[in-house]
Amino acid sequence: MSGELSPIDKAKFLAAKRAVDFVEDGMRVGLGTGSTAAWMVRLLGERVREEGLKIAGVPTSTRTAELARDMGIRVISLDEAKWLDLTIDGADEVDGDLNLVKGGGGALLQEKIVATASDRMVVIADAAKEVEALGAFPLPVEVIPFGWQTTQALVEEMLISMDVLGRDTTLRMNGGAPYVTDEGNHILDLHLNRIGNARELALVMNQIPGVVENGLFIDICDTLVIGHGSGRVETRDINDGTVEDMRLDFVEDDNLFRDLSD
C-alpha cells in the first residue's frame, strides 16, 4: 500500500506520526483539518484503540469531526473543553518565524479559534509548505455572505496601501455556487504573490466590516514538524529554539490506509 502513496503524502504521514507523540493521556486536543491533519486523526485514533490513550478531541470542521468519531476518538465541543492542551493542524504555507497561511481547506475560522485556545499549536506539513515569505498561496479570507461584493471591494481598496505584489481577489466556488464554510460564510482568495508585512495585513484586514477572519496565523504556531518523503522528520520549536532531526520508518498499516477519502 505504501508504494501507492506519493512522496508528498508520505511526508505528510510522517509529520503527523511524529506529532501524535506529543499527545499524552488526559489531554484535550484540537484536531485540524486537511489531508495532513487527517493522517494525524487516523494515527491518534490508532493510539486510542491500541494503547487505550484517553483524550478528548475538539475538531475544527464537520469533516474532521466525522473522521475522529470514525477513528474512535471522543469528540467534544470547544465550549465543553473551554481550553485545550494542544492543537495539531496542517498549513498551506509556513515561514521562518512559524507564521502561517491557512484556510486552503476552508476551515480557517474554527482552526484559528481552536489553535488560539490551546497551550500549544503544533503544525504538521510536508517540506513544500516552507517559504521565505508568505503569499504565493492565495490568502483565504472568510466573509459574511451579506454584501460580500462590497466587502470584496473594501478588501481590494485596503490592499492598495499594503506591501503585497498582487491584488486580485476571487470568490471561492464549489461547482457553480459560492463555497460555504461550516459557519455559513464565503471565502475570498487573495492572490497577493508575496506579503511584505503579514502582521500588519492580518490586523488591518480584520477591521473591514464583513470580514470574519483571515488565514494569516501570526504568533500562534509553537512547533513545526516537517516531513520529507525520504523519511526525514524535522521538528522546530519557536519557544525554546530547539531543532530535532530524526528518521521515521514508513510502516504499512492496513487499518490506517483504508478509506483514504479526505
Catalytic residue positions, numbered: 111
Query: Minimum distance from CB of 138 to ligand 5RP (Å)?
Result: 11
User: CB under 6 A: which stretch of 27-35, 179-187, 196-204, 247-255 binds ligand 5RP?
Assistant: 27-35
Q: Which of 44, 67, 91, 139 binds ligand 5RP (CB under 6 A)?
A: 91
Residue 34, all three cell numbers = 486537511
**Judging by DSSP bridges, how do beta strands 121-126 and 86-89 pair with one another?**
parallel
Q: What's the CA gap between 234 and 229, in Å, rounded? A: 12
**4 vs 240, beta carbon nearer ligand 5RP:** 4
Instruction: Answer yes or no whether residue 33 interacts with ligand 5RP by CB under 6 A.
Output: yes
Left (φ > 0), alpha (ψ -120 to 50) or beta: where does 98 sit? left
**100 vs 154, beta carbon nearer ligand 5RP:** 100
User: Do the Cβ atoms of 136 and 193 come closer than 8 Å?
Assistant: yes
- Helices assigned H by DSSP within the chain: 7-19, 35-51, 62-70, 78-81, 108-116, 148-159, 198-205
**89 vs 222, beta carbon nearer ligand 5RP:** 89
Binding mask 107-126 for ligand 5RP (x = CB under 6 A): xx--x---------------
**200 vs 262, beta carbon nearer ligand 5RP:** 262
User: Do the Cβ atoms of 77 and 23 come closer than 8 Å?
Assistant: no
- Residues of span 37-66 touching ligand 5RP by CB under 6 A: 37
Residues facing 227 on adjacent strands: 126, 233
Residues that bind ligand 5RP (CB under 6 A): 32-37, 89-92, 102-108, 111
